[in-house]
Amino acid sequence: MKRRDFLGSLGAVGTAGMLSTPALLSSAGRALAQGNDIPVGLLFSLTGAVAVVESTLHDAALMAIEEINASGGIHGRQLRPIIEDPASDPATYADRARRLMIRDKCVSVFGSYTSASRQAVLPVTEQRKNLYWYPTLYEGRECSRNVMYGGAVPNQQQDDLIPWAIENFGPRFYMIGNNYVYPKEENNYCKTLLEQYGGEVVNEEYVPLGHSDFSSVINRIRSEKPDVIFATVVGDSDVAFARQYHAAELDPSKMPVVSLTRSEVEVKAIGGEAAAGHFSSAPYFMGHATPENEKFVEAYKSRYGGDQVTHFVSEAAYFQVYQFKAALEKLDPSNITPETIRDAAVGLTLNAPQGEVLIDENLHTHLWPKIGQWQTNGQAEVLIESKERVAPKPYAAYAGQTCTGKGLVKA
Amino acid sequence: MDVIANQLFAGLSMASILLMIALGLAIIYGAMGVINLAHGEFVMLGAYATWALQTYAGIGILPALPFVFISVAAVGWIVEKVVVQNLYHRPLDTILATWGIGIILQQAVRLGVGAESRFVKGPDLLSGNTEIGPLIMSNYRLFVIVFSMAVLAATWMLMTRTEFGMKLRAVIQNRAISECYGIEAKRIYSVTFAYGAGLAGLAGALITPLFSTIPTMGTGLVVDAFLVVIVGGLGSLIGSAAASVLIGEATAIFSIVINDTLGRIAVLAGIILLIRFRPRGLFPTETRR
């Protein structure tokens, strides 16, 4: 490059930079989504440790986006999914969320499976006043005005489950979970319910994440002879636990594992034979018979393969995109910002695969808890279906604290 | 009392799995001074080979064992020929190279087979329990214990009672002199590395009915295997066997006395103490380097 050319191009860059500055400034704020299409972020890990589950959430959300686009979009505008792969690393989640919210001007970001990644994104979405749609069941005790919680909180998974388990199997509970915040908070709430219904905890035990040899746990279970194994073991640990429990020939009809975390994904790896007879509590099972679910399962299978499964988190990842659509349809197309979307979403009802769900003013979701028993074919038979939709109480275990439409209120 | 008996069995079962994994690592280190960080991935390959044989060819775990051994040994042989062989005079670099190979293998399986956990059915023949009084032992775990002892015995025979073993010991003692006597050290190394990898593959095949088969499964296992090799004394077969029993039983006892999380901490603290006072492990090998 000659010196003159170099100076010339430098000048051009300089001028372009000057010219673009006002444009950059004006694009912030109100005019967030006034292009022809609506940018939305997808922040699910496609690589790394949690990719196994998160890639299915990504698939479900992307399918919903493409279905919406195929049927004409929202107010005639297409959704433009911007896909980022945070590679299972919480710090990368925060970084990519920032990129989606600032550079790509997304009016909403759908993402995360683990609490660790949600908590990494939390300060970003709050600072940018954006909206983060989180589809996973989680431990509660959070009340952000910038996160839409699509999964169950402890009261929605346990209120029906605990009295049912005490009545059918007995009052002595053995708690086994991985050693992090989710199992501890769930067990915390379970203990308040056990007190109320006259149950007792015979042992409360936490194993490290990724723990794979459960022989001592099984020996302890054998000697304690509890009535119910209350499990909050996640992922591969749960697979190993279930397989070794089965190999030890502990009888599910006498000592069933009642899990809050075991879904169709885990059962596929555990094998139907080892999973059969045990229970899970969740708002959604793949075998749930509603027209919405049949359509969802069929679309998912024909798109991603006949051996794929849908589960309680991928269902939420799917219906949250439709909740987003319904909120946008209520809005004036010239006034689409994360905050107006949030305000429009509160009180929305939607026919999700699990039943009609409602967004509470605390931004959590009213759901339909179910108790399913696993069968040898890897599917759950829904035994108990709650008669009414259950409201989310993210602070149920903490008296005097309530999550409301104005944030956390302490009495 | 029942609890302790059952827990001792659990510890033995853990020890047998540890031994299967650590044996290959100990041989490769003992013979060649190569710290093979890809060892966990050989275990993972063994597990996936078992899964593939069962899913696509309908071969159960037990008949699949020879195929798994040969195929993972073949991978080990190729790795040795292509990469490790060029690095024998740079032992520190082999750590980086084998670590890189491990990552490549892991990601290759993730891309080729998928990241989700795979299901491998255990052998029906070995389902169920054997009960002796209050002691309840899973038949499959019993089988793994017996099998690992057989592998230990076979390896010992190979090292001490065969011509190959004699050549290997000669090369370990002094490579240059052995070459002067016409021993092809390069070939010995290749076969040893392949054998170590094959043992890792067998370990992977045997743990599939108990654990979850995922691309990252080797990473956690290899840490425990390294602990065994370090406690046992680098390169010592008897040391590896003693150390795996020690670590397995200590883990089992600590986890019943305290709990699994604190038990793990206690075991690691114990190992640090042991290394402080016996830096070369329980049974250090007397070799000239």
pLDDT tens digits, B203-219: 999 999 888 888 888 88
DSSP B95-162: HHHHHHHHHHHHHHHHHHT-SSPBP-PPPGGG-SEEEETTEEEEHHHHHHHHHHHHHHHHHHHHHHHS
Overall average pLDDT of the B220-240 stretch: 86
pLDDT averaged over chain A? Answer: 89
Q: Do B6 and A219 touch (CB under 8 A)?
A: yes
Number of domains in chain B: 1
Q: Does A184 touch chain B if contact means CB atoms closer than 8 Å?
A: no
The pair phi, psi for residue B116, each rounded to 5°, is -75, 155
What's the DSSP call for residue A208? -
Quick check: B42 and B218 in contact, CB under 8 A? yes
**Spatial separation of the C-alpha atoms in residues A99 and A110, rounded to whole Å:** 14
The CATH architecture to which A36-152+284-367 belongs is 3-Layer(aba) Sandwich (3.40)
Residues of chain B in contact with residue A224, where contact means CB-CB under 8 angstroms, are: none
DSSP A139-190: ------SSEEE-S--HHHHHTTHHHHHHHHT-SEEEEEEESSHHHHHHHHHH
Decide if B98 is inside a domain.
yes
Query: What residue ranges do the domains of chain A occupy?
Result: 36-152+284-367, 156-282
Decide if B286 is inside a domain.
no
Q: Does A99 touch chain B if contact means CB atoms closer than 8 Å?
A: no
Over residues B118-174, the pLDDT tens digits come to: 888 888 888 888 888 888 888 889 999 999 999 999 999 998 899 999 998 888 888
A23 pLDDT tier (thresholds 50, 70, 90):
very low
CATH of domain A156-282: 3.40.50.2300
pLDDT averaged over chain B? Answer: 89
Most B CBs within 10 A among A46, A207, A219, A234, hence the mutation to make, goes to A219
Query: Could you check whether A36-152+284-367 and A156-282 share the same CATH topology?
Result: yes
- Alpha carbon B34 to its chain centroid, in Å, reads 15
Domain of B122 in residue numbering reads as 2-277
CB nearest A179 (choices: B216, B255, B261): B261
What is the percent of chain B where pLDDT is above 70?
A: 98
Q: Which residues contact A314 (CB under 8 A, 6 or more apart)?
A: A56, A57, A59, A60, A135, A300
Q: Does A269 touch chain B if contact means CB atoms closer than 8 Å?
A: yes
Decide if B141 is inside a domain.
yes
pLDDT at res. A58 = 96
Secondary structure class of A26 (helix, strand, coil): helix
pLDDT higher than threshold 90 for residue A361: yes
Decide if B289 is inside a domain.
no
